[in-house]
Amino acid sequence: MNKKKQQTEQTKKKIADAARALFAQKGYKATSIEDIVKATGCSAGNIYYHFKNKEGLFLYLLEEWNTEWDKTWLDKETLYPTAIDKLYGMAEHLALDQLNHPLTKAADEFFNNSEKAPDVEERIHEMVKGYLDFNRQLLQRGIDNHEFETTNVTGLAIILDSLMLGLNQHSRRMEREEALEAYRLAMDVFLHGIAKPTRTR
């Protein structure tokens, strides 16, 4: 039970790699199984042998990306002592990940596309919830540290995610430095706002 498992792993990776690149370049719907067949050199049947279907293949890539992101972030996180530092760090991390990571565009398309199996829809829901939880924890830490003054943690988690989501779309048309700058500025605004300090609160 060795050469077979190894073979399976290898071709599964080959398919995943090719699919990732294609989804990134052309989007989810526009990438056909035939495209992946051509790119990998293996047959259509083989793809369906290793993955349930096109949806399943894409979901696999999303999960892979998610865990990868978590891992690299955990490595970085310790470098940032305060919650504010963490926010800027996360912004930078996202900016770079999204620039380097090819899947964001296709992911958006997939997320917003209605033709998904119910269980897939469910899984995506969980992912989004995961992002929001992540934000919530980050914000809560800032509150506990007396860095932030706010009570509506859940609301702000959505605002933060919205900001990152929207920037993600814009940053597609940006160069690396431009994108990093935009993410930094977004965090400046998120932390300090743009109004003159005549606070009415």
* Closest to 118 in 3D by CA, of 172, 196, 59, 48: 59
Q: Is 199 in the site for DNA (CB under 7 A)?
A: no
Q: Do the Cβ atoms of 88 and 187 come closer than 8 Å? A: yes
Q: Is 52 helix (H, G, I), strand (E, B) or coil?
A: coil
Whole-angstrom distance between the N-terminal and C-terminal Cα of the chain?
Answer: 67
Q: Does 195 bind DNA (CB under 7 A)?
A: no
Does residue 1 belong to the site contacting DNA (CB under 7 A)? yes
Q: Report, in Å, the least distance between residue 126 CB and DNA.
A: 22
Rg (CA), the chain: 20
The answer to whether 151 and 159 have CB atoms below 8 angstroms apart is no
Is 113 a binder of its own copies (CB under 8 A)? Answer: yes
Contacts (CB under 8 A) with its own copies, residues 30-59: 30
Q: Measured in whole angstroms, how far is the alpha carbon of residue 90 from the centre of its chain?
A: 12
Least gap, CB of 189 to its own copies (angstroms): 5
Q: What is the DSSP letter of 152?
A: -
Residue from 21, 39, 48, 141 binding DNA (CB under 7 A): 48
Which residue in the set 16, 31, 61, 171 belongs to the binding site for DNA (CB under 7 A)? Answer: 31
Q: How far apart are the C-alpha atoms of 143 and 87, rounded to whole Å? A: 13
Cα 44 from Cα 26, distance rounded (Å): 19
Q: Shortest Cβ distance from residue 32 to its own copies (Å)? A: 12
Residue ranges in contact with DNA by CB under 7 A = 1-5, 7-8, 10-11, 29-35, 41-46, 48-50, 53-55
Residue ranges in contact with its own copies by CB under 8 A = 25-27, 29-30, 84, 105, 108-109, 112-115, 139, 142, 146-150, 152, 155-156, 158-159, 161-167, 169-170, 181-182, 185-186, 189-197, 199, 201
